[in-house]
Each structure stands twice: as structure tokens, then as C-alpha cells.
Chain A
Amino acid sequence: MHKLENINYSTMRKFGYLATAFFAFAIVSCDKVSNPYIAKAGPQATLPTTPPDHVTKSTDSTLHKALLEDYMGHFCTNCPAAVAAAESAVNDPTYGKQIVAMEINVDYNADTAGEPGGPLVTSGLPDTAYKNDYRTAAGTAWYNTLLSSSLGVPAGMISRIYYDASYDQNIQYSSWATVADSIDTTPQNAVITMVDSSWIKQQVFGTAVTVTLKNPVTAGAKYFLEVVLVEDSILDWQKNGSSDVQYFVHHKVLRTALNGAWGDSLSLATNIPVTKYYAFTSPKFRYNSAPIVTPPVVPARLWNMAKCSVIAFLYQRTYGGARDYYVLQAQELHL
């Protein structure tokens, strides 16, 4: 090999420094992005491209289902009675399968312990008692809008119907089963079918909700689809009369709404199905499918995907009258 003349050690060293600086510069001045999207805890998450761990599909498309909203709070001493009424209705062998129920924590009685001005905690309880906040923006919005005349919780609605000529849709829990039964015997207004896909490791799920209008209730009404996430069998503190129950079983607790408090507007024509897609991720998601034990394996502050369901309901707006906000159909599907 020909020897280059006059290239001394000093020159080569300078060149080496420059080459090293060049490559160092090249390496540190590039940001290779592997995931273009910013991971968001909330709606409009991105679904993974890998196959889901679970896929569930709703199969009961011919039942008219009523929505039972049980508004409560963990400091509410009478709320366990309402919870029992809801459970009784849901478990009724005749019409229970036509009721989609959820617990919605709202107002003062759902405040967390130790907050200024909040409910007082019985002395001697652990510092962790009543520390989980189950209130949601959607639940609060519904409560403030639709149950404004209620005197606090427990309160409830069945398909958001005006039942007893009161000023709003509030129905005493003692009447929930009767009202739900009466609704379920009416013709089916709409069909909702759902498919849920879950990715456990990625803490994300997607749901496809198909709505078909069958029997319009009010001519000219506008339709909205609400999709929410609920978690069943949460064990946490609850007042029951004068008692503090540490592992009270909360059923179908509203965790969040996937599409805001008032859902998505749908343009529906009779018998024409419309499908909407939603995706949701949260760093709070965990997964444990074992039967519940005390203390719970997945703490109540986290969300156990194995116990979560998506509830979708179609309601109408008439902007006045007794059928405003009326829920035409509800559907629930486990993740």
C-alpha cells in the first residue's frame, strides 16, 4: 500500500478527533421515534396492532333493556339499601336480565375523607378509609342536570324517565324494580350490539358499538350514544347506617365516560345500523380474574380490567317534555 507522505501523527490525531466529534454529533442529534402517538390516559387511545387478549361480543339483541342509575356516595348511610334494591332488581329471574345497572358516586357524600369541609370520618379508622374518590365528571354532570331536585343521595333514575310527575327523573329506590319492569315490557325501541377487545399488557381496550333504531319514541328527537366504563365488585369502605364497612361490595361503579358526559350525536334512521368505535387506555388498569378476596388483590384505587364492563346507552333529546333524555336502550358487555 502506498504510504501517504507528510501525514504525521499530529495530523492524523486531529483528523481522528474530528471524525470522533462528527460521529458523536451524528448520534446525539437524532431522535428516532418508535411510537408516533403520545400515549394518552383517556379516550381516543391508539389500539395495538397485535391481536387482543380478549374479545367479547354481545349476543342478546332482542331484549329491551332499561338503564338503572344508582347515585350514591360512600359516606351515604342509606345508600346500601339502594344498592340492595338495585341488586334485587338486577337479580330478578323474570326481568333482571333486562336491567343494566351502575353505581354513580356524586356529591358531598362521595367526597374523600379528610377534605376541608368534607364528611367526618369515624375516629379510629385507618388512614386509608374513604380515601378513594369515585366521582366522575360525567356522573356529576348527570346528577346536576337531571336530579337537581333530589335531596341528595341515594337517588336514581330508570332510563331517565319521568315516572311520578315530579320535576325531574328521580325515582325512589323502592320503586326501581317496578319501574324497570314496566319499561321492559314495552316494545324494543333500539338495538345495541357491542364488541369489546382488550389488550391487558398495553392497558387498553377498544369497543365497537352498533346502534339500530327500531321504534322511534318521539318524532323529531335527536339521538345520542353514551359509552361508559364500569367496574364490578370493588371492595371499599362504605357507611351503612352507623357502621363503617371496610369491604363493602360496590357493583358496576362508574369509572369514566368514554365519550364525555353527553355522548356522541347520532343520525339515525329506522333499521339502519350505525357503528361507533372507541378506544381507551389508562395507567390505572390492572388485571386479576380470580374471585374477589379480602383484602382485594387489586386495590380499589386501581381498575381491574377483569371486572370491567362497557355500558352503552342510546338516549334522545326532545328539548322539553317528559321524554327528554329518555334512554331508548342500554347494553352492557364485559371486557
Chain B
Amino acid sequence: MLVKKIQIVLAVLIVSISTTAYAQVFNGEGQVHGSIEIDAQQYKPDSAIGAPAVPAKMAMNSYAQLDYTNGKISGGLRYEAYENALQGYDARYNGSGIANRYLRFADTNIEVTVGNFYEQFGSGMILRAYWNYPLGVDNSIDGVRLKYNIYRGISVKGIIGHQRYYWNEGNGIVRGVDGEINLNQLDTAWTHKKTQIIIGGSFVSKYQASTSTTYNLPLNVGATAGRITISNGGFNLYSEYATKINDPSVVNGYLYKQGQAFLFRTGYSTKGFSISGSALSIDNMSFKSDRTGVKNDLDINYLPALPRDETYQLAALYPYATQPNGEMGYDAEIRYTLPKGSPLGGKFGTELDFEYSAVHALDTTNLNDLATNRNGYSANYFNFGKKLYFDNMTFELKHKFSPTFRMILQYVYETYDKDVIQQEVGYGTIFSSIGIFDGYYKLNPSHTLHFEAQELQTNQDQKSWAFGLLEMNFGSDWFLGALDEYNYGNPVASQQIHYFTFTGGYTHNALRIQLGYGKTRSGILCVGGVCRQIPASDGFSLSITDSF
């Protein structure tokens, strides 16, 4: 099947090249771009940290992307190899082959793509096809995409196809259209107005056959969204509302309730100061091209997460995962830079950042109608549910003391309902305080010492942790590092484990080679509210990335 598809693509490519060459769209100066990444891990069983025995002893994820552009024609492919997939990635990735290939024609006002493509309508609440290699998410659409600029400031997009499902394609067909009007571009008299307004609307529908003998399942499920963007100088506002008709699925327990989501972001920024606020309400908005899909499989849409993506090791110990079945949250952030030369700003200035976000359950009323209409519940969108899923308060200070020394101080307080967020049982809510010190000291023009000290205190789960990191950059090419993550507060003495890791590597332009050895604790990795499990591991690791 795959070979046949490749043959078809190559045939189309050859025909396209020959016909478009005749039409003189090639300018004779084609460009090739590409990137490659290899991640390999050795696995040693370690019962103390829960690292299982992996029969293959090692695993490797890798890909190579190649894109060719010549005039109005471009095409590309991505070869992926999972031999086998790293622990924590879905084993259905095991194997290798061409996972993505496309051919594109792009003229001034029209663009046509056949093959695999990625796309996003608005914020993605009803359609976002994307690839996130670290998360193991690839829900690319294999089909056709058209983009057309109808008029100055007015554009439409249309897509149709099946989604990637590991090495196969999902059963459902995804169809969608999106339109956007930039009001300021409609008329030259408005173009230079300070207030810029863009409005957009989308509709996405999926089709999936049904063999259920119990439920009248909707074969075609549609979702609609409308959005607006307003900016005026330092002020900006983005808002989007999305709704979805009955979409019974495994994720929502085969409820027929209509889904909806509302996103509101606004902010103001000026030199040295910015303030922003967001609000998000999600109700029954899991939207997959296969109603039996679970986890990240065959997601058509993307539901944004308001809480910040923490980058520091211990602050990221309890990351938030968006709850597609329902949540209500908000986020506020203030950034202020104390000016250079001021008493607190010092010679180089001091950046202050305060952010608070909270996510609650929906305020719902049980309808007790599972034997009849199966709406399940009604939601009051003007109230927060009593249950707090997550909140995060972060205070950050960045200060540069001298040309050779700068530091970041961070304090984080988090409330984390592990049972809800990680769909576990019996862990309850975890309250944690995290202190972080991050410093960079330039020993000489070519040597920089990076050091981190972190402390997480909590009375729940595995109790308190400490973390230390020391990293030295030798010139611009070589680096060496060591880190230790220590669960010193674990009430089980044998679980008070040091997770040592040593790394070393070489970087040159886009090339980065890193070799590591050590233990990794189990946990979850989340990016933008989308997560995957990370199992415990012990052994060598190798990572190579490059692009051209």
C-alpha cells in the first residue's frame, strides 16, 4: 500500500515537473533543505527506579526531512525510523518508512498541496494538524489542501483527507474550510489605520462509518468556529468561540452533548512593561477522526493550555494536561523591567515576571439521562466548578550583575490534581513549592559555566526533591554537563534515589551531537497541554540533530 502511494506521488511529481516546466514555472535555481534527528537510548533494567528490562536493550527514534523548492513547485518527504520506538512512545511507531510526502504548487493567489500537510484554523480549537516529534504526535492529513486569496485581505482554505495513524491512516475523513478577512487590507484607506482587525471563521467535518448495534452514531460530525483579532499599538486581543455537534466517543463516554470552547486572550505591552490575561472554557471538545481513539490518537483539533510550559526540571515535575471533557481556566501575567541605572535595576536592568493561572472543573449538573438522550450533564459557563484541577503562581527575577554573570531566580507554587490530570487513582492533590536558582558565569570569552539549583517541597506524592546542574561550554563547540535529581524526601528510604546524568557533546552551526549516561525518573512530558508518558530509564543516550 505504501509503495503504491510512493509510486503515485513520484508519478505525480514527474508529471508535474514536466508539465510545469513546460509552463516555465521553474527558474532553474531549485533549493534543497533538510534536517535530520537521531535519538538513541540504551536500556538497563533498574528495579530501584522502575526501569523495565527492554528485550532489544536499546531503541532509536529518527527522521530525515528533505524539501525541494523550485519556483512555484515544491515537494518533500520525511523518512522516519523507529527501531524500536523509544520507551514512552507508542509501540505502533515501530518500523521505518516514508511517513510524510507532499507536492505543492504555490502561485500569487493560489496554493495547492497534495499528499501530507499540516494545517491550523485559528487557534486550532477545531482543526490543527501538526507534528511534534518529542511528544510523538503526528496527525498530518493525507489528502488535498487548497488556499486561495480571493481578494486583497480575503483568503480561504479548504482541506480534505485522512489523518496519519502511526504507519497507517485513520478511518475517518476530515473535511474543512476556513476563511479570513483582514479588514484593513480590504481598502488602502484602512491599511494604515492604527487599529487592525482580522476576522475569521472555520468549519470542519469528519466522516466515520459506524457498525454499532447499540447507538445511533452520527456519521458526520461538524464543528464551527469564529474568531477575531484586534490590535492597536501595544494592545492586542484575540478571541475565538468553537462549537461541535453531537460527537459520542470513547473519550466522552458516548455522550451526545454539544461541545463548545471559548478562548479569550488580551494584552498590552510597552517598553519595559507588559500585562496579559487569558480565559479558556472547554466543554466536551475532544474531536478525533476516529470516535474510538484515545490519548493523542487522531486528534483533529488542539485545545490550548493556559498554564505556562515550565522549562526547569522540578517546576516541570507536575505539568498540566488539557482536559478535553471540560475545564475552565484563566491566566494573568505581568512583566516589568526595572530600568538600567535604577537602584534595583542595577547597571543592566532587572526583569520581573509574575504569572498566575488556575484551571477548575466545569460547574455541571448531572442530567441522569444516560438511558435516553445521553447528554450527561448541563454546564454553567458563568461559574467555576468547585474542583480545582491546577493552579500555578510563578515569580521570576532575571538580573545581570556584570558582563560575566547573570542569574534567574524563580519561585513557583503549584496545586496539582494528579488523579484528574494524569488520570490516576489515589494520588489526590499535590501542593508544591519550588525554588530555582539559575546562573551563568562567563569564565573567559570562550568558556561559560552554567549552574542550576532547584528545590521542590511537598508533603504529597513522592514528597520533596532537589536538583543540581553544572554545565561548562568550551568555546562555541564543546560542552560537558552533570546533573542530579534527588528525591530526598521520599518516605521509603530505598526510593530516596539520586538520578545522576552526565552529558557531553559538540555543536557546530546547526549540528549538535550529545552523548549522555544516567538515570531518568518516570513522569510525563507536556507541551502546550499535550502530554506523553516518560518511563524510567537507565543507560547511555545519544542525540544527533542537524539541518541544512
Q: Residues of A with Cβ closer than 8 Å to B?
A: 2, 4-7, 11, 14-15, 18, 21-22, 25-26, 28-33, 35-38, 46-49
Complex contact A33–B216 (CB within 8 A):
yes
Q: What residue of chain B has the Cβ atom nearest to residue A38's Cβ? A: B216
CB-CB under 8 A from B219, the residues of chain A are 31
CA distance A47 to B186 in the complex (A): 57
The CA of A78 and the CA of B386, in the complex, are separated in Å by 73
Interface size on B (CB < 8 Å)? 37
Contacts of A25 in B (CB 8 A): 175, 177, 203, 205
B409 CB-CB contact with A under 8 Å: no
For B270, the chain A residues whose CB sits under 8 A away are: none
Can you name the residue of chain A whose Cβ is closest to the Cβ of B222?
A30
Distance of A11 Cα from B186 Cα, bound (Å): 12
Contact B150 A33 (CB under 8 A): no
Q: Which residues in A have their C-beta under 8 angstroms from that of B217?
A: 33
Tell me whether A15 and B154 are in contact in the complex, defined as CB-CB below 8 angstroms, given that A38-B214, A46-B372 are known contacts: yes
Q: Is the CB of B224 within 8 A of A26?
A: yes
A15-B150, A22-B203 known; A38 vs B215 contact (CB < 8 Å): yes
Q: Does the CB pair A5–B187 fall under 8 Å?
A: yes
CB–CB B151/A15 < 8 A:
yes
Q: A18-B156, A25-B205, A29-B222 are in contact. Are A35 and B188 (CB under 8 A)?
A: no
- The answer on a CB contact under 8 Å between B216 and A36 is yes
Inter-chain contacts of B177 with A (CB < 8 A): 21-22, 25
Which residues of chain A are within 8 angstroms of B154 by Cβ–Cβ distance?
15
For A30, the closest partner residue in chain B by CB is B222
**B245 in complex: contacting residue of A18, A32, A46, CB < 8 Å:** A32
Chain B: residues with CB nearer than 8 A to chain A? Answer: 150-152, 154, 156, 175, 177, 179, 186-189, 203, 205, 207, 212-222, 224, 245-246, 248, 254, 256, 369, 371-374
Q: With contacts A36-B256, A36-B373 known, is A30 near B245, CB below 8 A? A: yes
A2 to B216, CA, bound (A): 51
Measured between alpha carbons, how far is A114 from B526 in the docked complex, in Å? 71
Determine if A26 and B151 form an interchain contact, defined as CB atoms under 8 angstroms apart: no
Q: How far is the CA of A49 from the CA of B254 in the complex (A)?
A: 19
Closest to B370 in A: A36
CB distance from B284 to the nearest CB of A (A): 14
A-B contacts, 15 of them at CB < 8 A, read A2-B189, A14-B150, A15-B151, A26-B203, A29-B205, A29-B220, A30-B220, A31-B220, A31-B221, A33-B246, A36-B254, A36-B373, A38-B216, A46-B372, A48-B372
Complex Cα spacing A49 to B374, Å? 12
CB <8 Å contact, A29 and B175:
yes
Q: Which residues of B contact A47 (CB under 8 A)?
A: 371
B195 to chain A, nearest CB (A): 15
In the complex the two chains form, is A38's CB within 8 Å of B151's CB? no
Contact B216 A35 (CB under 8 A): yes
Provide the bound-state CA to CA distance between A76 and B18, in Å.
84
Q: From the candidates A14, A31, A48, name the one contacting B218 in the complex (CB within 8 A).
A: A31
A36 and B175 within 8 A (CB):
no
Q: How far is the CB of B239 from chain A (nearest CB, A)?
A: 21
- When C-beta atoms are compared, the residue in chain B nearest to A19 turns out to be B179
A38 to B215, CA, bound (A): 5
- Which B residues are in CB contact (< 8 Å) with A37? 214-216
Give B199 Cβ to nearest chain A Cβ, in Å.
14
Max chain B CB contacts within 10 Å: which of A18, A28, A48? A18
Give the docked Cα–Cα distance between A69 and B371 (Å): 35
Bound Cα distance A35, B246 (Å): 11
Q: Are B256's CB and A33's CB within 8 A?
A: yes
B213 nearest in chain A by CB position: A38
Bound form: Cα–Cα A32–B246 in Å: 7
Nearest CB in chain B to that of A49: its residue: B372
Kindly state the separation between the CA atoms of A36 and B179 in the bound complex, as whole angstroms: 33
With a cutoff of 8 Å between Cβ atoms, the chain B residues found around residue A48 in the complex are 372
Distance of A177 from chain B, by nearest CB (Å):
44
Complex Cα–Cα for A171 and B269 (A): 95
Note all chain B residues with C-beta closer than 8 A to A28. 220
Q: Which residues of A contact B212 (CB under 8 A)?
A: 38
B179 touches A32 (CB 8 A): no
By beta carbon, the residue of chain B nearest A47 is B371
Q: Tell me whether A11 and B245 are in contact in the complex, defined as CB-CB below 8 angstroms, given that A30-B205, A31-B221, A38-B215 are known contacts.
A: no
Indicate the member of A29, A30, A38 with the most B CB atoms within 10 Å.
A29
Whether the pair A46, B371 counts as a contact (CB closer than 8 A) is yes
**Most chain B beta carbons < 10 A, residue from A2, A26, A30, A38:** A30
A29 vs B369: C-alpha distance in the bound complex, in angstroms?
27
How near does chain A come to B218, taking the closest CB pair, in angstroms? 4
- CA A62 – CA B47 in complex, angstroms? 66
Bound Cα distance from A57 to B189, whole angstroms: 80
